[in-house]
Structure 1
Amino acid sequence: MDKKNIQRIRIMQYFIEATVKIIKEEGIENVTIRKIADLAGYNSATIYNYFQEVSHLIFFAAMTFLKEYTDALPRYIAQGNSPLEKYILIWECFCKYSFAEPKIYHAIFSSDLGGQPEDLIQKYYTIFPTDITDLPEELIPMVLESNLTKRGRIALERCVKEGYIKEENAEEINEMATLVWQGMLTLLLNKRRNLSPNEAAQVVMNYIRQIVLNANHFEFPARQ
């Protein structure tokens, strides 16, 4: 990497770190361009030389909070003895961490990111590559995908290939699981359900297990 790109990444990191600090101290809803610029030591206009949209900068800052989830993910799937169990465990891990930080996960997976949001996660990991250096190779394609529906389909792929999920049922299972998660996240954000993160995760996981069971006509035992 040449010096110009190194300098560019360094300045982007300054802005991201400033945004993270504001999120931790004031909440993601209180992030403003002026606050970011003042904290980073640059003028507000400079931010747009590095980030196409303000929402992109908030996205990158929110991504730093995802490391706890990506660190936990290998431990979760290690408990599974089959692709189907691992698929369920991937969702369990995601529900646990996303419902504990609904605003963060909304910023990453649900918010309006303006133009060209598709490559943002991959771009983030070029700036902070050490965040996923310990991930097993099998998880990298899913983690690098920014579209939640596509992430879910990647997670389901081994189940299809090894016959645990019928090919004709895969899209439906994936879509329903994604929508259940999205619905619960919206309810939590809007304070329409008085549930703890753990309670919300249990509700969603019960539905996801039922979705898999009903689509494939076999019983999958609930985890405690």
Structure 2
Amino acid sequence: MKSGRKEIQRARMWRYFLDAATEVIEEEGLDQVTIRKIADRAGYTSSTAYNYFKDLSHLKFFAAMRFTTDYINELPLYLEKGTNTIDSWLYSWECFCKHSFDRPEIYAIIFMDDLGGAVDELLADYYNVYEEDLIRLPEEIRSIVSELNFSKRSMLYIKKAVDEGFIKEEEVDLLADTTLMLWKGMMNTVLNHRRNYTKEQAVQQTLYYVYETVRRVIIPGKENELTFSIKK
């Protein structure tokens, strides 16, 4: 019973601090987030915050996850557009690019920043508190969303395309890793203002690279079965 009460208390405190962090991000921006600001807004001391979060990077990660709700909610709708695994996977990329380039600083924290290792543990902790974010999702999608390693997420999903005859098994890892690197490259370009891309241009350029990568590894003839296309 004591253990159960402790977990309830922990979840309650997490919500206090993450609600406060979310408010700071919305009002002042991600760069203005500090442990002290969040603790003050939550009505606690900084030392209390450190009882629940290892450091500021972890608190930022958990707060950033609160801004992915729209992406998680829309993902099943995009996956349903596809008529096969590769098709659905390309539509899922469209959904991810749409949301990630809309809030690049948020998605960079989640998928690119150094969090000191144990990222899977951080994600497990997050969904332990915000389990309702996963409950409403289909089981197949739930397992993908709860895997933070983006490349592994892709591999888990597109493996089915091997049985469907779209790609060879030895291409799965390459396709997953290459497309992730393409997204990270574009994300770095956007965040560092290396090119004057609009959000829409960043989305379409990334999708073009992802689609062209798929086209180069897909078994000849099978590309005709895809409904996904790049908007001109």
**Structure 2-normalised TM-score?**
0.92
Deviation at 1:181, TM superposition (A): 0.3
Contact residue 85 and residue 157 of structure 2 kept, 8 A: no
Deviation at 1:170, TM superposition (A): 1.1
Moved over 4 A (4+): none
Secondary structure of the structure 2 residue equivalent to 1:55: helix
CA RMSD of aligned residues (A): 1.4
Partner of 1:172: 174
Q: Map 1:1-224; keep pairs closer than 5 Å.
A: 2-218=4-220, 219=223, 222-224=229-231
Per-residue CA distance 1:145-165 (angstroms, 9 max, x = gap): 111221221222221232212
Deviation at 1:122, TM superposition (A): 2.1
Counterpart CA distance in 2 for 1:90 and 1:115 is: 27
Contact residue 171 and residue 217 of structure 2 kept, 8 A: yes
Deviation at 1:30, TM superposition (A): 0.9
Counterpart CA distance in 2 for 1:42 and 1:112 is: 27
Per-residue CA distance 1:8-60 (angstroms, 9 max, x = gap): 11011111111111100111111011101111111111111111222111111
Counterpart CA distance in 1 for 2:157 and 2:196 is: 30
Counterpart CA distance in 1 for 2:173 and 2:117 is: 26
Counterpart CA distance in 1 for 2:192 and 2:54 is: 28
Contact residue 120 and residue 146 of structure 1 kept, 8 A: no
Counterpart CA distance in 2 for 1:109 and 1:178 is: 10
Question: What amino acid maps onto 1:59 in structure 2?
Answer: F
Point out the more displaced range, 70-79 or 153-162: 153-162
Which structure 2 segments of 5+ residues have no match? none
Counterpart CA distance in 1 for 2:166 and 2:136 is: 28
Deviation at 1:182, TM superposition (A): 0.4
Percent of counterpart pairs with the same letter?
A: 42
Counterpart CA distance in 2 for 1:130 and 1:194 is: 38
Contact residue 122 and residue 145 of structure 1 kept, 8 A: no
Point out the more displaced range, 100-109 or 192-201: 192-201
Aligned residues: 224
Contact residue 79 and residue 88 of structure 2 kept, 8 A: yes
Question: What amino acid maps onto 1:198 in structure 2?
Answer: E
Counterpart CA distance in 2 for 1:183 and 1:3 is: 45
Which structure 1 segments of 5+ residues have no match? none
Secondary structure of the structure 1 residue equivalent to 2:87: helix
**Structure 1-normalised TM-score?**
0.95
Counterpart CA distance in 2 for 1:89 and 1:113 is: 29
Contact residue 33 and residue 44 of structure 1 kept, 8 A: yes
Contact residue 156 and residue 170 of structure 1 kept, 8 A: yes
Counterpart CA distance in 2 for 1:36 and 1:72 is: 29
Counterpart CA distance in 2 for 1:123 and 1:33 is: 19
